[in-house]
Amino acid sequence: MIDFLALAKKYGTPLYVYDFDAMQAQYEALKEAFKGRKSILAYAIKANSNISVIQHFATLGAGADCVSIGEVRRALLAGVAPYKIIFSGVGKRDDEIQEALASNILYINVESDAELSRVELIAKRLGMAARISIRVNPNIDPKTHPYISTGLHDNKFGVDINTAKRMYLRANNSEYLDPIGIHFHIGSQLTELEPIREAAIIVADLVRSLQTVNIDLKFFDIGGGLGIRYRDEETIEPYEYAQAILSTLTALELTVVCEPGRFLTANAGYFLTKVLYEKCHDHKRFVIVDGAMNDLLRPSLYGAYHRIEVIGKEDVEPTVADIVGPVCESGDFLAKSYPLPSLEHNDLLIVHSAGAYGFGMGSNYNTRGRSAEVAVENTKSRLIRQRESFEDLIALETPYLKR
């Protein structure tokens, strides 16, 4: 059990707390599910980009799925092997592509014909053959929130099957491109298995058609997106997930690349915030806390639900309240109409399932310093990112003040 009161007292609030033992258990469960096939679990850094979190997965053997050159640099700094690093994302700049190629990462996931041209040109300048994968958009409805759907033709990601075929033929005939993988990712927070299976069938069939023209790929990149339980979702078991994928790869000798993010970190993370005071008017109850939308954006951005626990008042009869922060926006809330007991100054709230897309989506809006981050491992805690000070926030501005 994590002593949240002790952590809040030691490190202050707002505060992110990550259970590294729980993260390891999730990683090992997914790795075990794919044990019958060569596989790379490339941790999706965007879920939680703290370097200590990345390092923790690297020590377990994980690779890294990166969507910016900054994430590639984080992965390398954290000790991820270059041959396990993948660079994805729709809008890669030339300098990012060049740096990724110079870093000798496993491959670049190419998202368009225009991007393929840029990669080829840059590889030619460097006098090398760029290892690439092409992201295929299988046009499968992932049945998730529209903001995190990525596998439909309405989404900006990837290319359709026919375009992918043309791109592979072109890459295979290029001196400066080495097509070694194929990639798809239909969305995040996936809780239904059938769309994943359907997408894998489509992409595996494309691999077989490429083999008939002597394009032999080595990596079958299934993306990530495995959902977790925030409230009462029915989630997919890792074994069932793996079997659904592997069943589509009959007679194909491919290494499976999986890019889990939320699945590994979300339920291993907690956001701690203290009550400042309560406020009531027109029969509306507000609980005002020191955490805000700049700390945890998901409720404001997606209307996302997080379970919220009050320490020490479990037996007090609750009434509904909006939990709101100090930011000057009506959209600044952590929950609406949430049942809570009567609260007092300095009571501690624990926001569960906050280990993914929490701190990383934070900001300094209203000149608020971002929260500290703490890791708990083998019952011991350690600071992995200090709380931002006012001086940190203005450090890049003060040199340019008029004197």
Kindly state the average pLDDT of the residues 263-281.
97
Kindly state the average pLDDT of the residues 182-201.
90
SS3 360: helix
Whole-number Cα distances in Å, 353 to 236, 239, 299, 311, 335 = 17, 22, 12, 16, 13
Closest CA to 18 of 314, 371, 395, 401: 371
Q: What is the mean pLDDT of the chain?
A: 94
DSSP string, 321-334: EEEE-SSSSTT-EE
Q: What is the pLDDT of residue 174?
A: 98
Rounded CA separation 201/198 (Å): 5
Residue 135 host element (H or E): strand 130-135
The domain made up of 4-15+267-389 has a fold known as: Lyase, Ornithine Decarboxylase; Chain A, domain 1 (2.40.37)
- From-to residues of CATH 2.40.37.10 in the chain: 4-15+267-389
Q: What is the pLDDT of residue 151?
A: 39
| More confidently predicted of 141 and 239 | 239
Backbone φ, ψ for residue 344 (5° rounding): -125, 165
Q: What is the pLDDT of residue 359?
A: 98
Asked if residue 209 lies in contact with residue 174, where contact means CB atoms within 8 angstroms, the answer is no
- Among the listed residues 66, 258, 280, 328, the single catalytic one is 328
Q: What is the pLDDT of residue 313?
A: 82
Residue 334 has pLDDT above 60, yes or no: yes
Q: What percent of the chain has pLDDT over 90?
A: 88
Q: Tell me yes or no: is domain 34-260 CATH 3.20.20.10.
A: yes
SS3 23: helix
Asked if residue 291 lies in contact with residue 31, where contact means CB atoms within 8 angstroms, the answer is no
Q: What is the pLDDT of residue 156?
A: 59
Catalytic residue check, 328? yes
Kindly state the average pLDDT of the residues 115-122.
98
Asked if residue 358 lies in contact with residue 261, where contact means CB atoms within 8 angstroms, the answer is no
Rounded CA separation 175/191 (Å): 42
Residue 253 has pLDDT above 50, yes or no: yes
Q: What is the pLDDT of residue 291?
A: 98
Residue 203 has pLDDT above 50, yes or no: yes
Please name the amino acid found at residue 227.
G
Residue 152 has pLDDT above 50, yes or no: no
- From-to residues of CATH 3.20.20.10 in the chain: 34-260
Lowest-pLDDT range, 39-43, 273-277, 312-316? 312-316
Residue 150 has pLDDT above 80, yes or no: no
Rounded CA separation 291/279 (Å): 16
| More confidently predicted of 187 and 270 | 270
Q: What is the pLDDT of residue 126?
A: 97
Residue 144 has pLDDT above 80, yes or no: no
Rounded CA separation 183/41 (Å): 14
The residues near 375 (Cβ < 8 Å, ≥ 6 apart) are 18, 20, 52, 53, 56, 381, 382, 384
By the 10 Å C-beta count (0-12 exposed, 13-18 middle, 19+ buried), 126 is classed as middle
Name the residue with tokens 């030691």. Answer: 10
Residue 186 confidence class, pLDDT cut points 50, 70, 90: confident
The residues near 59 (Cβ < 8 Å, ≥ 6 apart) are 79
| More confidently predicted of 139 and 297 | 297
Rounded CA separation 377/366 (Å): 33
Residue 142 has pLDDT above 70, yes or no: no
